[in-house]
């Protein structure tokens, strides 16, 4: 989950998601549906990741982007005829748009869902619709179109309103409910004439012309189809021109009244009209072949572009691989340098630690030696003092003993000896000052 405090990263991821979305749309317009889906899914991954943003303002923007991507994925699957997946993504997008209150997008999703049900009714390709009759699918389609119509009327969105009205007409026409179909075609035609939308005008005129043909209103059918042909040519919509040629061929074949070769032109008899029918049929086939060749050329160009792209991609991959190898080699050399420097620094640190430890040990040994010397001197002094004390005690004891034994007999002599001994000791103590011997 991305924290809202890291706004630059959110903006970066949002820009990346929008870029993927635009690339997907570009590929869709080129008809590259697989590439388109790949980019859409990449964008969807980003929106899902950013959906955890806590601030409501950012979350609303992200959900809006997610809805748009989901809706476009539905369009791609719709184009491919995978109606089940298309509906799944349309409904997911619709749920988000309803939650955000985006009515314009809600109307668009409802209309797209209506189209899918209409297409299912026509083709019945979806496996889940095999047990559902065609009329039921048409009715479901109409329900969604009418919901979209109501919202577009509220929003006064004339362009989408005209498209919605026209699609309702298409459903009624497919049900052969021609009166209802004409009603909605004319409503759509009126709005598109106000908007000047030539493509849609040509489409509604063509559809009205085909209904008039079925109703045997051949003159009205001719006017509508010929005007549709003129408009389609003017806007360069050759695919629409092809369809008008086909419907004109059908008209000239079915008509039982003379029809002009041009608007207000010469009326053709029945034989000429059959020839004109064949003429328009051949024009339709020729244009079909031309468009088919153009499509084939596009396919060839696309395949060639894919080949060139893959070739370029392989070259890029080779260059990227070489680049990665060079980067890996540079990193390996850098790692070796870092390891060497780190090892050298570690050795120096160990040497310093060992040296400091040695000096500390040496200091401790010296202090221990000095302590032992001091203790030894103290012990020696104590021994000397003890020895001198013992000598003095012995002398004193001996003196007393002698004194006791000789006191009476040698009293006078001992006194003389004591005097002489004292004098001798005195002289010995001062022999450093006087070298004379006194006897």
- What tokens appear for 117 in the block? 């049900």
Evaluated on CA atoms 137, 142, 148, 150, the torsion sign reads negative
178: CB partners within 8 A, 6+ apart = 172, 211, 214, 215
Residue spans per domain, the chain:
324-429
- Supply φ then ψ for residue 268, to 5 degrees: -100, 145
Scanning 31-177, the segments in alpha helix (DSSP H) are 33-50, 56-79, 83-100, 103-123, 134-155, 158-174
Phi, psi of 259 (to 5 degrees): -125, 150
**What pLDDT is recorded for position 44?**
92
Predicted confidence band of residue 132 (pLDDT cuts 50, 70, 90): low
Q: Would you mind telling me the total number of residues written for the chain in this entry? A: 439
DSSP 258: -
- Under the banding of pLDDT at 50, 70 and 90, the label for residue 334 is confident
Q: What is the DSSP string of 103-137?
A: HHHHHHHHHHHHHHHHHHHHH--SGGGTTS-HHHH
Mean pLDDT, rounded, of the chain: 82
275-327, pLDDT tens digit by residue? 988 989 998 898 888 766 655 555 544 545 444 555 556 666 677 777 778 78
Round to whole Å and give the CA distance between 239 and 284. Answer: 10
Q: Hunting for tokens 């000096």 — which residue is that?
A: 359
At residue 53 the predicted structure's pLDDT band, cuts being 50, 70 and 90, is low
The pLDDT of residue 97 is above 70: yes
Distance CA 337, CA 309 (A): 41
Mean local confidence (pLDDT), 240-266: 87
Low-confidence winner among 25-34, 38-47, 310-319, 396-405 (lowest mean pLDDT) = 310-319
pLDDT at 231 over 60: yes
How many Å apart are CA 439 and CA 422, to the nearest integer? 11
Note the pLDDT of residue 196.
Answer: 94
* Predicted local distance difference test score (pLDDT) of residue 318: 75
pLDDT score recorded for residue 183: 96
> Under a CB-based contact definition with an 8 Å cutoff, are residues 7 and 54 in contact?
no
């Amino acid at each position: 989950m991305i924290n809202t405090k890291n706004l630059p990263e959110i903006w970066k991821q949002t820009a990346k998601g929008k870029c993927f979305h635009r690339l997907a749309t570009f590929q869709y317009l080129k008809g590259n549906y697989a590439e388109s889906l790949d980019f859409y899914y990449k964008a969807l991954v980003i929106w899902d990741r950013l959906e955890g943003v806590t601030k409501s303002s950012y979350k609303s923007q992200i959900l809006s982007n997610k809805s748009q991507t989901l809706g476009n994925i539905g369009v791609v699957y719709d184009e491919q005829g995978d109606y089940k997946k298309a509906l799944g993504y349309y409904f997911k997008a619709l749920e988000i748009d309803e939650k955000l209150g985006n009515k314009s997008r809600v109307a668009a999703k409802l209309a797209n869902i209506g189209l899918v049900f209409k297409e299912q009714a026509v083709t019945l390709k979806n496996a889940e619709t095999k047990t559902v009759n065609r009329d039921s699918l048409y009715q479901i389609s109409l329900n969604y179109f009418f919901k979209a119509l109501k919202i577009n009327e509220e929003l006064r969105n004339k362009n989408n309103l005209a498209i919605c009205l026209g699609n309702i007409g298409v459903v009624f026409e497919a049900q052969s409910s021609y009166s209802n179909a004409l009603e909605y075609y004319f409503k759509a035609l009126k709005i598109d004439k106000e908007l000047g939308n030539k493509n849609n005008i040509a489409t509604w005129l063509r559809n009205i012309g085909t209904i008039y043909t079925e109703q045997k209103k051949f003159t009205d059918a001719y006017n509508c189809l010929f005007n549709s042909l003129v408009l389609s040519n003017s806007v360069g919509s050759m695919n629409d021109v092809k369809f008008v040629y086909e419907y004109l061929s059908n008209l000239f074949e079915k008509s039982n009244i003379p029809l002009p070769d041009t608007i207000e032109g010469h009326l053709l008899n029945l034989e000429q009209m059959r020839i004109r029918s064949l003429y328009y049929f051949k024009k339709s086939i020729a244009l079909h072949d031309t468009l088919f060749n153009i499509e084939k050329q596009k396919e060839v160009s696309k395949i060639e572009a894919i080949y060139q792209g893959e070739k370029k991609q392989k070259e890029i991959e080779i260059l990227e691989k070489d680049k990665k190898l060079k980067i890996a080699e540079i990193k390996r050399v850098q790692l070796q340098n870092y390891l060497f420097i780190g090892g050298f620094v570690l050795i120096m640190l160990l040497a310093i630690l060992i040296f400091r430890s040695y000096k500390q040990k040496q200091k401790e040994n010296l202090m221990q030696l000095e302590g032992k010397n001091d203790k030894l001197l103290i012990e020696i002094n104590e021994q000397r003092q003890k020895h001198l004390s013992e000598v003095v005690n012995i002398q004193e004891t001996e003196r007393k003993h002698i004194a006791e034994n000789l006191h009476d007999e040698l009293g006078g002599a001992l006194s003389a000896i004591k005097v002489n001994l004292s004098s001798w000791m005195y002289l010995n103590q001062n022999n450093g000052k006087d070298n004379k011997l006194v006897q």
